Amino acid sequence: MNEMSYRTALVTGASSGLGRGLALWLGKRGVKVYAAARRRAHLEELAQEARAAGAHVEPVELDVSHADATLERIRALDEACGGLDLVVANAGVGGQTNARDFPWEHARKVIDVNVTGAAATLSAVLPRMVERNRGHLVGVSSLASCRGLPQNAAYSASKAFLNTFLESLRVDLRGTQVRVTCIKPGFVKTEMTAHIQHTMPFLLEADAAVELMGQAILRAEAEYGFPWQMARAVGVAKFVPNLLFDAVASKVLRAPRG
């Protein structure tokens, strides 16, 4: 698949950060982008910036934590535009969930958005893509999904769900023209990471991260983790014995930012 393969795209979580950047990146390449998020004012600003750049970005007010409404809204968009070629489940919630004082209300929000919301977003037009025998589903996961990181039980687990969900879809869709991509960013300078107090190795600027994500989508990568240094370290971490992992992770990932 290449740039010309996409006439239309839906990007959730598009009011800021990676979602906003990716919506604009696709729009500048001739794709009609439906930019979905809760914050309408932010979406309107994005649409104005896109118009000034000669791109077409259409604001869509959407809260993916309401799964049934998300399904209905995305299916209506699919019908109205003659078929979505690309769906990017990018909307996500971060934040700490320390087991010593576990914040269930926040953990529930993480699960509603990162798990149920992402699954609803990706499932909404999947049957129609299969019928059309074309389309591309993309989920934005995280390198934090590789293991259970300290103070991130809900977030790490929610992204691990997305990894496995996308992998199963990819296997099922083998032999069709419906592509599935799982993108796993490391630390990126966005609204979501602004509050993080611990060290963030290989922190990327948002524009650089968006470029890497966009190119991975165009290549229809099955999985893509970045930056490569962090992705490689995470690959090694999968095989580290639990006793060693627990000791190292609890110290390194809690180290204050310098």
Alpha carbon distance, N-terminus to C-terminus of the chain: 42
Helix, strand, coil % in the chain, rounded to nearest 5 = 50, 20, 30
Structure tokens that stand for 55 in this block? 């791109």
Per-residue CA distances from 196 to 76, 82, 89, 150, 256 (Å) = 37, 42, 23, 13, 9
Please say whether the beta carbons of 125 and 213 come within 8 A: no
Task: Indicate if 155 belongs to the active site.
Answer: yes
The one-letter amino acid code at 229 reads: Q
Closest CA to 60 of 44, 72, 49: 44
**Residue 216 burial (CB count, 10 A):** 20
With tokens 């983790």, the residue in question is 225
Integer Cα distance of 189 and 9 in angstroms:
24
**Residue 80 burial (CB count, 10 A):** 11
Structure tokens that stand for 28 in this block? 């500048």
Residues marked as catalytic: 155
